Amino acid sequence: SRNNDKHHRLSLLHDYLTNDFSDSYFSFLQSVVPYCSIYHGDENLLSADEYNEKLPIELDTDGKINNFRTDNAFPKELFLDSVINICSETSFENNELFITEKVLKPILNFQPFILIGPYQYLKELRKLGFKTFGDFWDESYDEIENPKERYMKIRELILNLNKKTIEELNLLYKNVKHICIYNNRKFNSLNIENSIIKIFNKLQ
């Protein structure tokens, strides 16, 4: 995550720092300002200093936080060494439905994904011809319009998946691999001249 003015991103940072995600990759670059809030409630909020002493957490900027662009941050080794991608979309609370490059990174890298995004984002992806993973985990969060309730439902899913062993996750990936292959082929079959396609042509 590269922006801390969104409740969903700060909430995700909070969950990362207050649970055991030691076998996960996570990125959060900008410092946290005082008087932020999270969906869990302010009683669970750490102080800004407690968050900031752990930041920045860099994975894909090559040390160039101030020169970060979408098309220069694409370390494929991170995708090769992980199973599920958690996409933190730009819009969450205001339910502004537009699809960005964030979800296309796991699609290009044959990964299943969980979307921390606006109401009915997954439904919109399916309208575009992509497949999601509701047969393998609970995607009912996509139909929750209230942002706090939606985040907490996503949080429940993430924490449950985080309890799985590496063997269980590898088996899960084997079972969803056909969807990942389908989504990758679907993206590569698109012949649409828009900004997302242009960005990702640079990455391939």
Chain segment 75-88, per-residue pLDDT in tens: 677 777 889 999 99
Better-scored residue on pLDDT, 84 or 60: 84
What CA–CA distance (Å, rounded) separates 178 from 24? 23
Q: How confident is the model at residue 171 (pLDDT cuts 50, 70, 90)?
A: very high
Q: Binning pLDDT at 50, 70 and 90, where does residue 118 land? A: very high
Higher pLDDT, 96 or 69: 96
Q: State the virtual CA torsion across 17, 19, 24, 30 in degrees, nearest 10.
A: -20
For residue 83, the 8-state DSSP code is: S
| Of 116 and 4, more confident | 116
Instruction: Tell me the whole-structure pTM to 2 decimals.
Output: 0.84
Distance of CA 86 to the CA centre of its chain: 3
How high is the pLDDT of residue 81? 80
For residue 99, what pLDDT is reported?
79
Of residues 59 and 6, the one with the higher pLDDT is 6
Mean pLDDT of 6-23: 92
Q: Please compute the mean of the pLDDT values over residues 134-155 and round it to a whole number.
A: 97
Please tell me the predicted confidence (pLDDT) of residue 56.
83
In this prediction, residue 60 carries a pLDDT of 53
Residue 198 has pLDDT above 90, yes or no: no
Per-residue pLDDT, averaged over 102-121, amounts to 94
Whether pLDDT at 188 is above 50: yes
What is the rounded (10 degree) CA torsion for 19, 23, 25, 26?
10
83: its two tokens: 């199973």
- Round the average pLDDT of the chain to a whole number and report it: 84
